[in-house]
Structure 1
């Protein structure tokens, strides 16, 4: 079984308020926005051990904070947004960040650096508490849009509140994240080494890498168009392979049949999306 799973792709957008409105119109419960200590603003749709996270630039004066191994999280998002919206990098679920680093090192993937952070909160009963999160960054210089980080939420109980995980559209996580690449081999090598599995094909016959939380689907631009009916914007792959779509699991496809899903990538934060359940999609 793969040690790491898809936790939360970070969808970088230029206008956070507009993006929140868009995702709420698609039936997601989006919690009130907050801010990372490195200056990016953030809004979340929470699932069990997965998150749909939207990020933007909140306080540009903080973007150089929390530098690790030459990597600055805030600057990475800023540089991505200078070119386009979309998934800037992806968090991978782990319950042991140190073990994740050790396992990836054994497979020839070096940790760029570590970020530890937390924030003070007030719980529903009025008592103060503090979150604690450890990030292990794994930058891919050849394919920067596929950089990842292992994310250990030490206090997941302070994140996954049941009332914030009940979405009007019935969403309960990601079935797949679809990567578009002109050449699949480097992507498959990167992902199979991260997850310590062999590549396979998914139920629709496309190249796939399974994780404990959904799977990566790797497709060509032509295959992407056949799946989603969407055209990639000009220059979409200028900096190499990247995530272009998310498949979101829902409990009842009938409940989402009238939602305003669009095939225009520019309309949903630089990605497209479909709802899936029991091998069906919409």
Structure 2
């Protein structure tokens, strides 16, 4: 069963965004440069991470092709309409096999994409990490990207030193989407995740993964589950609205947010950081049980 590998959080100013995530109590990795015009800093957990991404050099961004999905072009175009949670990424043991499965399911027409970049280890050593990606797409979800990621050098990528956070964050919970008539997208998500929905209703669908999950909610369902969280605008179709961070102690997470002067709301057993504090993305902190 696949799990969430990472979430892509697209921003205009990487320095500002990294500072904001540090203020929330997260540890951020050093800046990394992609060979296709983007750059990132990561918030790493045990087996998953947040990728805070910005465009570094627009002239280096390759355009989409008939069989080529351009990660950099997708996020560049995403930023033209605002910052936010742009892409959901699942893990993969074999990106090429996943790509074939997506082609057969009719949710992709793209070739796999391989790349390498430099990474800095906690002791300062610079190493090379590599990835193989397989993309999927749904024509009605133009502002939401989907792919799987196969790690080519995991021994250099995952580092415990980067996974210790002042706010007590342990990992990711659900990735949250909003859309009208969520049930209409169940077939796509079943093909993308490889699992059948645990929740299948007109107002909500949900897929439980080995790490985290995926939920799409209608505006009414969002209001029911997260009445204190601001819902996104659906003028351009379904979109990612936010994500859950699991922590070991909600009080510790609140202290970190207070120390960083990050505004949040208490809503029962969760803390909610609103989109205007987190680059158009709602972040929900919940205790892991």
TM more than 0.5: yes
Gaps of 5+ in 1: none
Moved more, 56-65 or 254-263: 254-263
Change (3 A) 1:157 1:239: same
Aligned to 1:182: 180
Counterpart of 2:222 (choices 212, 224, 236) is 224
Aligned counterparts of 1:196 and 1:16: Cα–Cα separation in 2? 33
Residue 161 of structure 2 aligns to a residue in which SS?
helix
Change (3 A) 1:117 1:78: same
Aligned residues: 273
Residue 194 of structure 1 aligns to a residue in which SS?
helix
Gaps of 5+ in 2: 265-272
Cα deviation for residue 50 of structure 1 reads 0.7
Aligned counterparts of 1:240 and 1:66: Cα–Cα separation in 2? 21
Aligned to 1:271: 281
Cα deviation for residue 13 of structure 1 reads 1.0
8 Å contact from structure 1 (residues 169, 250) kept in 2: yes
Aligned counterparts of 1:216 and 1:40: Cα–Cα separation in 2? 26
Aligned to 1:152: 150
Matches within 5 A, 1:72-221: 72-121=70-119, 129-201=127-199, 207-221=205-219
Aligned counterparts of 2:125 and 2:249: Cα–Cα separation in 1? 37
Counterpart of 1:20 (choices 2, 18, 21) is 18
Cα deviation for residue 145 of structure 1 reads 2.8
Cα deviation for residue 70 of structure 1 reads 4.2
Moved more, 69-78 or 5-14: 69-78
Aligned counterparts of 1:126 and 1:278: Cα–Cα separation in 2? 32
Cα deviation for residue 68 of structure 1 reads 7.1
Change (3 A) 1:278 1:42: closer
Aligned counterparts of 1:113 and 1:53: Cα–Cα separation in 2? 23
Aligned to 1:246: 243
Aligned counterparts of 1:123 and 1:83: Cα–Cα separation in 2? 34
Q: TM-score if structure 1 supplies the norm length?
A: 0.87
Aligned counterparts of 1:123 and 1:274: Cα–Cα separation in 2? 29
Aligned to 2:49: 51
Change (3 A) 1:128 1:36: closer
Cα deviation for residue 99 of structure 1 reads 2.2
After superposition, give the CA deviation of every residue in 1:69-98 in whole Å (9 maximum; x if it has no partner).
242222211111111211222221112212
Aligned counterparts of 2:239 and 2:125: Cα–Cα separation in 1? 42
8 Å contact from structure 1 (residues 67, 73) kept in 2: no
Aligned counterparts of 2:142 and 2:63: Cα–Cα separation in 1? 20
Aligned counterparts of 1:113 and 1:36: Cα–Cα separation in 2? 19
Residue 151 of structure 1 aligns to a residue in which SS?
strand
8 Å contact from structure 1 (residues 38, 66) kept in 2: no
RMSD: 2.5
After superposition, give the CA deviation of every residue in 1:164-223 in whole Å (9 maximum; x if it has no partner).
111111212111011111121232221112223221239xx9631111221112211233
